[in-house]
Structure 1
Amino acid sequence: MKKLNFRNWKKFGFEFLSIFIAVVAAFTLNNWNENRKADNSENKILIEIVNGLEKDLEDLKENKLGHKYGILACNYFRKALSDKNLSPDSLGIYYSSLTRDFISIQNTAGYETLKSRGLELIKNDSLRLHIISLYEFDYQILRKLEEEYSEMQFQENYFKEINKSLAPNFNFNDKNMISGIKLPIKIPNDEKKIFLLYLMKIQGNRSYIINYYNQIEKKVVDVKNEIKKEIKR
């Protein structure tokens, strides 16, 4: 009788151990599958963010180039006040660039997907912090500078007043299109001083935002490279 009980216990123990091992194995496999899914989701979102950052770099460079043309336009019209031999070939592009504004375009689809899934999906704490900082801080400041900061609204602040000074000097063709400009530009002395102050203000603000664009470009490149390293892991 004792032997039978021992055999039963041994059998039950073996069955229990088998069930326990099966449960643990199933639990482990389920965790592995969940972690694998999370890793795949993380990689897909990171790839989407990288693609967006590459497009952002293109937009940043285009806007920065536009501001550089704005500075060249300031120099052009400053020279036009005294140089009668200044080439008129670039008049059109400099005139359109002088008070041109820009909007800040960011490709945030990947980041918005990450936020909807939960920021903690990015397991690398340092990378997660850098991504959040770029989208929530750096990009937001850039957008506010370009679109909301009053001194950066060149078209609204300067276009009308500058045109009052320049318009009498423009030449127009039979189709009433600008065909050139009389050089040197003739502007009454007091008005000329105001015009020069406008050029100085425009150039200073464009130089300031170009410096910020340079900082943002570096951060975008750094985050992009950091993400690529994380994906390779």
Structure 2
Amino acid sequence: QYKAVFDYELTRHGVLAPAFPSIISAGANNFCIHYYSYRGQASDGDMILNDVGACYDNECNDVSRGWPCNGKFSEKQKLLYKCAYNTSEHMFSIIKPGMPMADVDLTARKYNYEQLREIGLCKSYDDIGKYMWHGGAHHVGYDTHDLVDASGLIVPNMVFCVDIGIYCEEWGIGFRVEDNCLVTENGCVNLSAGTPKTIEEIEDIMNL
């Protein structure tokens, strides 16, 4: 149903195809990073993982959000979501020209580790791989995962995704917060900032 609504909205706005097969899952299926079955059912309290994108004028975008299917974050969901949200916001506050591209993923991991350590999940940095299962950034453009030299420096007009995923199997909660970052002369802007992102914004729109 979520996929059908997204496809309808794309068509309504003149976009005939998504940028990639939509990744929409719930509950335990969120631990399959790219879940394409579309057969899973959401149970009360499950987190929905929505990873979708559109392609316009041959340019792709890629945005992910997680939200509770019942419209209300549980306490554990709030704890994890705040970790991902805070990490994402931190990255958008520091990304600028001259920063090594490889540092984006490294910095995201280190910052997210500190967030997870504060809520008692990570005891050492070695634990971060247990909760972050993929990179914290990837370029986007003519392809959803554009190839780029990761050893290079960030320059103005680059566009890449800041992709903060947390997968906590012991709590049964997995999701990611992913936005499109445009590098400017002095910093960066979030091209997908119009998508509800805070806990309050998500709960408000879920309970209209």
Q: Which of the five TM-score ranges fits, normalised by the shorter chain?
A: under 0.3
Larger RCO (CA under 8 A, 6+ residues apart): 1
Higher helix share: 1
TM-score normalised by L of structure 1 = 0.25
Q: Which structure is larger by alpha-carbon Rg, 1 or 2? A: 1
TM-score normalised by L of structure 2 = 0.28
